[in-house]
Structures are given as structure tokens and as C-alpha cells.
Amino acid sequence: MRRNKSHIKKQRHVLWSKKEKRLLFISGITCLLIISLGYYSSIKRSIKYENAYKAYEGMEVPDSVVCMISNLVKPIAMSSITVQNDVYWGCCDKCLNRLNYNIGNVQFATDPYSGKRLKKSEAIIHINPSDKRTVLYFESEESYDNFLVHINN
Ligand SMILES: [Zn+2]
């Protein structure tokens, strides 16, 4: 009888001690908290991004909210760089550096309606109707209007 009892006690200890259980519970809660915090901030971030482009739907997008490398409207403070009197906007030093040296022809875009090659610094910028987080560069408002007619037909 005595042997049996000690055997049970030993088994219990091997499974989870009270301390271990508490530790497990705390780390479980912590994990859950971190996951939900990450999830929450990613939702918040995507809402922020969504609102960023929504503000400019249908109107000309100011250069200063566009990262001309990713062609995204970003809800963060952008920086500009002046290259031979042309002002380009980017979200970080890396982007500005690429714009400064025109690495990969990033200073230029093609008007999706006229097919004309443009300097992004001189273009009329509008939200891309088929990918609203990104922008398109047009040579004129007229070209943008024609583009809208073209894609809606
Ligand atoms: Zn950027």
C-alpha cells in the first residue's frame, strides 16, 4: 500500500508539477497575447494603408505621399530628393538613393494610356483602379480621363 502511494505521487510529479503548469499557462497566455497584438497591428496597418489611398481616389495624388520606388501611397512622412531640378519622393534612404542615381530607370514611368515615357517628377499621379494601393503616372489629366474610358469599355 505504501509503495503504491509513492508510485502515484511520483507519476504525478513526472507529468506536470504545479509550478510547471503555471509556467506553461503563463507562456501560453504570453504567446497568445503576442500573436493577437501582431494581428491587431497588422490590421491597423492595413486599414491605415487603405485609408491612405482612399483619400486620393478620383483626384490627383500629390507627389509627396507616393514612394516613387514602390509606387505606393504610404501613410508615412516621405522625403524628397532633387535631381537636376526634378523633385522625387521616397519612403526611405534606400529609395531616395535609387531615385538619385536612377537605378533601374526608377525616375521614369510610362503613361498607361498614351504609352509615353514620363519623368515621375512631372507626371500627373492617380490611384491605379485595378490595384488601389499603387499609383499610375499620366502625362496629363486628359490622358487619365481617356484611360478611365478605355478600361471601362
Ligand atoms: Zn520606398
Q: How confident is the model at residue 125 (pLDDT cuts 50, 70, 90)?
A: very high
Distance 47 CA to ligand 1 centre (A): 19
**Residue 113: pLDDT above 80?**
yes
Domain ranges of the chain: 2-53, 58-151
Q: How confident is the model at residue 10 (pLDDT cuts 50, 70, 90)?
A: low
* Model pLDDT for residues 43-63, shown as the tens digit of each residue: 877 777 777 788 888 899 999
Q: How confident is the model at residue 83 (pLDDT cuts 50, 70, 90)?
A: very high
Q: Which three cell numbers stand for residue 2?
A: 505504501
**Which of 125, 119, 117 lies closest to 88 in space, CA to CA?**
119
**For ligand 1, a single-atom ion, which residues have Cβ within 5 Å?**
67, 69-70, 90-91, 95
Please name the residues in contact with 111: beta carbons below 8 A apart, sequence gap of 6 or more. Answer: 117, 118, 123, 137, 138, 139, 143
Distance 145 CA to ligand 1 centre (A): 27
Give the whole-angstrom CA distance, residue 141 versus residue 129: 15
Range of weakest confidence among 35-39, 66-70, 89-93:
35-39
**Which of 120, 119, 121, 110 lies closest to 143 in space, CA to CA?**
110
